[in-house]
Amino acid sequence: MQKKMESRQQVFGHSDQLKTKKLASEKVEATCLNSESALPADNSANQAASACLSDCDLQLPYSHLKTPGTPYQQACVQFNLDGTQLSPLGSEQQQQSGDQWSLLVAAVGFIISKYSGQSQLPLCLKLDTNWIKLPDHEYLLDFNADELFESVRKSIKAQCEKVQRDFSPGQPSFAENELTSPLRLICHDIAQENISVQEWTEQTRQHLSQQDEYNDLCITIVKKQDSLSVALIFNEQIFHLKTLESMAGNLRSLIIQTPKLVDRAISKIDFLSESEKNWLNTFGDGGQCQYPQTPLHFEIEKLALNQPSHPAIKYENKTLSYSELNANANQLAHYLIERGIKPGSRILVFVEPGFEIAISLLAILKYNCTYVPLDPSFPKNRLKTIIDDICPSIAITQSHLMELLDFDKKKTIAIDKISQQLSEQPTENFKLDYDLKQTAYIYYTSGTTGKPKGILANHYNLINYIRSAQEKYAINNQDIMASCARYTFSINMFELMFPLSHGATLQILKREHILNVEHMAKTLQEITFLHMGPSLLKLLLNFVKSNYQEYSSFKKLRHLSSGGDMIPPEVLQIARQLFPHAELFVIYGCSEISCMGCTWPVPTEGAIEKTFVGKPFSNTHVIVLDDYDKPVPIGVTGNVCFAGDGIVTGYLNNLKLTQEKFIQHDGKRFYRTGDRGKISYQGQLELVGRSDFQIQLRGMRIEPGEIEYHVKQVDGVRDAIAALKAVGNTDKTLVAYYVTEQGADTDSNKISEKIREYLRNNIPDYMVPSLFVRLEALPLNHNLKVDRNALPDPGEVDRSVSSSSGTKPQTDIEKQLAKIWCDVLRLKDVFLEDNFLDIGGDSLLAVDMIARVKSTLGVSLYGLDVARECLGVLANICQTDKHQEQASELPVKTITINPTESFYFGDEKSLYGTYHRPVKNESGAINTAVLICPPVGQEHVRCNYFLKNMATKLAASGHPVLRFDYFGCGDSLGVDYQATIQRWQQDQNLALSELSVRSGFDNFVVLGVRLGATIAASAFSESHLEKLILWDPVVNGTEYLNQQQVNQKELIKELRFLKLFSKIKRNPHLNQFIGFNYSKQLLKEITSIDISQCQLNHHKQVALLKTSESIQNSIEYENFVGNLDQSKVVELTENCHWTDYQKTENALTNHQILSELINLITDQPE
């Protein structure tokens, strides 16, 4: 614990001078500040200054929202500077001229501007006895990029001198109770006063505690002779302590170098302390990993040899094996040669979801060409724009899509019509020299100028994209991964190549299937890996929660990830509840960085209060910069930028935009994402918004400029703005605001429908706004630019998107269906003639509508075509369906979650534990508490969810349960190679004592698993347990370690990390087995294990559970069993495969074993 504290202090620097204090709750009368007299009668200047301050609210780096009920709990961070550090500031000439104070005030203002993100800011300053509002009546302190630090200092000095001229010492310029800014700065020289710096600071704190309404942050600078003391006094209810420690460290660093800054521009000042720079650099570096530099399709070719019959792709009721996939791709690639296509050519892929996508992609990569996917649902005008930009050499499509593609038919292949020609082509692999800098694929995304932009990614990017994902998520040939994203989105490359290059099975689904939550819920029962955007995931989770009584049918799902948009914490909370056996991850990235920027493993326990995007992938570096490309402090919002092997080449035919978005910084090429974010003190990146107007809607990045461009092309429209707006209590909706020309049609409904129709013919459906709002004029700010923040709330739209007249719903089903439509589309009313898509609906809203129809009316609607029907027709469909067959409603499951508490306990609070509080035990019949002693290393990872589920069920039946992590494991303190068997024995005894205190029980059942069971057999040699259950204990330490070593070698071999592992500098004193480091001492202790020597007769009952074949044939096992009655040896019905490498990555989810264990534990003691 002491080492961790020292490490934290080293992060922020100057640990000997930064002090944290808390003020006692008593209010102490202030004696150091003179009481201010009333304001002069003529206070117009004061009012002007107050108005200026109110126009620029200071955005301090708050950690919590301040409300009227927020208490004031004072804390302080302080540092001191001596004469040697202040010699440049301490000359007599500077003191007389006032340069010293103005330099210090400018330094404080500069730091505050960095932490607030504001280049212009107000400041309330008390200089000795006078309160001064800076700026003085007219303007704000300006820390713009081109401003010289000296110019700011002179401005401050001039204003201070003006106040000193205008007001005598007995007539303060402002009363303290008039100052409403959350920040105050007090500068005072006590050289002539009989008081110490510490006493003055303490008295100031006491005074501030009595004026707590606006005292969010007060910075005091006290000078006495040649020393300086600076204190940051703040309300710790609204600020994070570490933020103020960081601010103090950076302010200290800046004050020391202030005299050198007088001729330096604001944008050139480097103010971060070295310790904070090092911390940020360490966080931002995802580490280097040397992946094999061979094209990814080589891996698929190897798999075609090693597992030829293994299913590579499933689509509907058909399966394509790896050998078939590889052969078909080779045949298509050879056919491209026959058609005269040259390597390096751009090849358009224009097909619907099916085998053809993967075959085409693989063939294009094999022939060293560039893959360019286009969506058949795109409007013709958009398709033409992209085709003109690409100039493809050939297009691969399907016969029924030929007419949609405005491209030379002589250069178009209908792949379903050339099966005979393909069958005649060779199936052998290609032998080409591949240049990894060659463009592998181009994805098109929304553009600001009205045209989509093509993003160029090479093979080098693709290798890092997929291999870095494998390093984090470890898919294997037992997995099935569904492809849910549109294949024109770059995340689809992850869904295609990630499973296929690692031997897993790719499940391709029709778009209609993906957008039907009832169908997707069934798919979830068959797959093991899923990545899905947050909006669709939210709908799917809500459906599962409402319509499934038991969640055990989803036990195959072991990995669930989401990204592409900010994911609400409640979505992750529900996902964790529904799929407790699955690992949950947030993935953050964009096409320009090959999608894999950062990832965050969602905590398995505790409340999820906010969503992070985590830490960078390998070979990736993330930084957060201010507007001048300087790193921002920890916890401060800035511009998120990425560098690394995933950074793409740039934009096709757009050198200007490429140079604007891709920058050089510290010798690396970074991409400006446009996202605003901050790095938490836990080392996690958190997103907070955008620096531009780009919209993130349902996982898709949309440039509103492209929408606005097309809206303004409509006759009669003069200007337009697209923005995301909240409508009522719902998610945000894409809204188009427009202004018409003079003389335009006065019927807003007709104009809105005209705009909608134009947009549908020119941009994808997901970019078409749901709502259209006509304005007299767009709101402008003082710079005469459109003020997007002032756009009116659309509220409940009246008739701007629905028919001007029509037939109102009459029957019960029509009324219920109309209410569903109004709720989904945020409309006041709809008519029977209205079409769902014509009045603001889209494919994802249709998913929501169909799900609500299922839950409200009990009618299952299949296919998105129903969304194209008018309300009256859809009502008839629902009515007919209800008459033919009443849909059976699945019972809604009521889930009772027992409260859990996570905490640290033991010596120096070094052990992490989770206590499962039992349900109320009215009868008092249950008097035993349960301690779970987990296994070690990967075995603990495997059964973590299993043990958590078991603890939850035991608590639900009335048993208090404690789970914990050993020293050096999980979330406990220490590192793995510091652990010993003796220490772990001590941990188990500490955990039992903690359970006794928390539960108040004296009778205990201890369950030990694997090595945890072996340790428990000796750790509780002097305890008297009601029951000791040993589940597959390690009876032969040498065999146990040998198997660990075999699995480690298999891991290296399977993941093809041999080159990587061979270059890692190894510690000769450590051995790593599946992610856990064993010291030589620990290895020696494990090999010396002899469980047969343990004395267990003093326990009331000892039960040996065996599910592993390997422990039954050892002498140690036979000797151990010989000391037990046969009745106490329980053979579980199924094997846990502890030593099977193929199972090491699979979570233990066997419900039969879970049931048997719970039955054994809950038997009443004899």
Q: What is the pLDDT of residue 52?
A: 38
Q: Which residue has the higher pLDDT, 48 or 657?
A: 657
Each residue of 288-332: pLDDT tens digit? 999 999 999 999 999 999 999 999 999 988 999 999 999 999 999
Each residue of 129-170: pLDDT tens digit? 555 544 443 345 667 666 677 777 777 777 667 666 665 554
Residue 97 has pLDDT above 70, yes or no: no
Q: Which residue has the higher pLDDT, 1098 or 1117?
A: 1098
Lowest mean pLDDT among 27-31, 763-767, 932-936, 1151-1155: 27-31
pTM for the model: 0.64
Q: What is the pLDDT of residue 174?
A: 46
Residue 3 has pLDDT above 50, yes or no: no
Distance, in Å, from the CA atom of 110 to the CA atom of 292, rounded to the nearest integer, reads: 47
Q: What is the pLDDT of residue 313?
A: 98
Q: Does domain 703-790 have CATH number 3.40.640.10?
A: no
The listed range with the strongest mean pLDDT (157-171, 259-273, 495-509) is 495-509
Q: What is the pLDDT of residue 335?
A: 96
Lowest mean pLDDT among 66-80, 405-419, 628-642: 66-80
Lowest mean pLDDT among 66-70, 208-212, 312-316, 336-340: 208-212
254 contact partners, CB below 8 Å, separation of at least 6: 107, 110, 111, 261, 269, 271
Q: What is the pLDDT of residue 891?
A: 34
CB atoms within 10 A of CB 105: 26
Each residue of 749-797: pLDDT tens digit? 788 888 888 888 888 877 888 888 888 888 876 555 677 778 887 764 4
Domain boundaries, the chain: 16-271, 272-292+477-646+672-693, 703-790, 812-884, 901-1036+1091-1162
Q: How confident is the model at residue 995 (pLDDT cuts 50, 70, 90)?
A: very high
Q: What is the pLDDT of residue 731?
A: 65
Q: Is the dihedral of CA 527, 531, 535, 537 positive or negative?
A: positive
Q: Which tokens sit at 64?
A: 């919590």
CATH class of 901-1036+1091-1162: alpha beta
Q: What is the pLDDT of residue 389?
A: 95
Q: What is the pLDDT of residue 95?
A: 47
Q: What is the mean pLDDT of residues 1091-1101?
A: 78
Q: Which conformational region is residue 1137 in: left (phi greater than 0), alpha (psi within -120 to 50 degrees), or beta? A: left
144 contact partners, CB below 8 Å, separation of at least 6: 119, 120, 266
Q: What is the pLDDT of residue 1060?
A: 44
Q: What is the pLDDT of residue 1089?
A: 82
Give me the numbers of helices (H) and strands (E) for the chain, helices first please: 34, 45
Q: Does domain 16-271 have CATH number 3.30.1960.10?
A: no
Radius of gyration of the chain (CA): 34
Percent of the chain with pLDDT over 70: 80
Place of tokens 């893959």: 371
DSSP-derived 3-state class of residue 1044: helix
Lowest mean pLDDT among 26-30, 385-389, 957-961, 1137-1141: 26-30
Q: What is the pLDDT of residue 198?
A: 86
Lowest mean pLDDT among 403-412, 963-972, 1079-1088, 1117-1126: 1117-1126
Q: What is the pLDDT of residue 178?
A: 53
Q: What is the mean pLDDT of residues 429-447?
A: 92
Q: What is the mean pLDDT of residues 1039-1062?
A: 68
Distance, in Å, from the CA atom of 762 to the CA atom of 151, rounded to the nearest integer, reads: 52
Distance, in Å, from the CA atom of 298 to the CA atom of 403, rounded to the nearest integer, reads: 36
Distance, in Å, from the CA atom of 923 to the CA atom of 940, rounded to the nearest integer, reads: 35
Q: Which residue has the higher pLDDT, 561 or 30?
A: 561
272-292+477-646+672-693 and 901-1036+1091-1162 have identical folds: yes
Pair 857, 878: CB distance under 8 Å:
yes
Each residue of 926-971: pLDDT tens digit? 889 999 999 998 888 888 878 987 898 898 888 999 999 999 888 8
Q: Which CATH number fits domain 812-884: 3.40.50.720, 3.40.630.30, 1.10.600.10, 1.10.1200.10?
A: 1.10.1200.10
Q: Which conformational region is residue 850 in: left (phi greater than 0), alpha (psi within -120 to 50 degrees), or beta? A: alpha
Residue 448 has pLDDT above 80, yes or no: no
CB atoms within 10 A of CB 777: 8
Q: What is the mean pLDDT of residues 979-1001?
A: 90
Pair 768, 755: CB distance under 8 Å:
no
Phi and psi of 670, rounded to 5°? -110, 150
The listed range with the strongest mean pLDDT (491-505, 877-891, 964-978, 994-1008) is 491-505
State the chain's mean pLDDT as an integer: 80
Q: What is the pLDDT of residue 867?
A: 67
Q: What is the mean pLDDT of residues 609-631?
A: 92
DSSP string across 725-789:
EE-TTS-EEEEEEEEEPTT--S-HHHHHHHHHHHHHTTS-GGGS-SEEEE-SS--B-TTSSB-GG
Residue 888 has pLDDT above 50, yes or no: no
Q: What is the pLDDT of residue 663?
A: 95
Q: What is the pLDDT of residue 4?
A: 36
Residue 1114 has pLDDT above 70, yes or no: no
Lowest mean pLDDT among 71-75, 531-535, 971-975: 971-975
Q: What is the pLDDT of residue 845?
A: 80
Q: What is the pLDDT of residue 656?
A: 93
CATH class of 272-292+477-646+672-693: alpha beta
